[in-house]
Structures are given as C-alpha cells and as structure tokens.
C-alpha cells in the first residue's frame, strides 16, 4: 500500500452538492494536513491535525469542514462550494507536526 492515498482522484460537483474527500496514510504518522493548490499560486495550507486534534485552521471558509477520526484518516467535507473553489486538494502527513511532509496524489475538484 502506497504512503498517502486520496479518493476520489477527480470530482465534479454543483454548487448545491455535498461531497467528501478522503485521505489515508499508511506511514504511521501523527500529523495530517489539507492543502489547496490553484493554478499559478503557492500551495495554501488549509488545516493541520496533530494526534487527531485540529491545530491549524488557516482562515478557511466554513463550507470546508475537516474531520480526523484517527491519525490515519482525514476527511474534507464540502458543501455549497463556489466555482473559485475548483482546485487540486492535496493531503499530506508527517511524523510530527512540523516534520517532513509526504503528499498524496490529490483530488482534482471542479465546481460548476
């Protein structure tokens, strides 16, 4: 099983839909992250979880709702998104918060 997996890899949703992104890490890490990657912009950190506790919310709109049931799984629940939310959403994990991060392949999201 590869280090960090994300599902789905591609998602198209309307502005009134509710969907969830899933991330799973098989590295035994204790910290997990959600990033947003838009064209021609640096990766934007969204959320950080350390030992299942949220330690960072980088002023993310409430239409994005993270969930971390255990150290191996991280979800991003999406509802009433806007077209400008279309981007590549990347999950990463590290041994501890602030450690070297390993990324998943991302979910390419298109909001219509």
Partner 1 sequence: TQLLEQSPQFLSIQEGENLTVYCNSSSVFSSLQWYRQEPGEGPVLLVTVVTGGEVKKLKRLTFQFGDARKDSSLHITAAQPGDTGLYLCAGLGGNTGKLIFGQGTTLQVKP
CA angle, corner 67, sides to 2 and 110, nearest 5?
75
**In this complex, which beta carbon is closest to partner 1, that of residue 75 or of residue 79?**
75
Q: Which is nearer to partner 1, 6 or 30 (CB)?
A: 6
CA separation for the pair 60, 64 (Å, rounded): 7
The distance of closest approach from Cβ of residue 14 to partner 1 in the complex, given in angstroms and rounded to an integer, is: 23
84 by DSSP, 3-state: which? helix
CB of 80 to partner 1, least distance (A): 26
We find the least distance from the C-beta atom of residue 58 to partner 1, in angstroms, to be: 9
């Amino acid at each position: 099983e590869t280090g960090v997996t994300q599902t789905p890899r591609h998602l198209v949703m309307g502005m009134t839909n509710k969907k969830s992104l899933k991330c799973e890490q098989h590295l035994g890490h204790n910290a997990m992250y959600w990033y947003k990657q838009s064209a021609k912009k640096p990766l934007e950190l969204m959320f950080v979880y350390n030992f299942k506790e949220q330690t960072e919310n980088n002023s993310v709109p409430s239409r994005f709702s993270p969930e971390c049931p255990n150290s191996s799984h991280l979800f991003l629940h999406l509802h009433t998104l806007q077209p400008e939310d279309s981007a590549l959403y990347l999950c990463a994990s590290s041994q501890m918060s602030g450690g070297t991060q390993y990324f998943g392949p991302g979910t390419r999201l298109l909001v219509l």
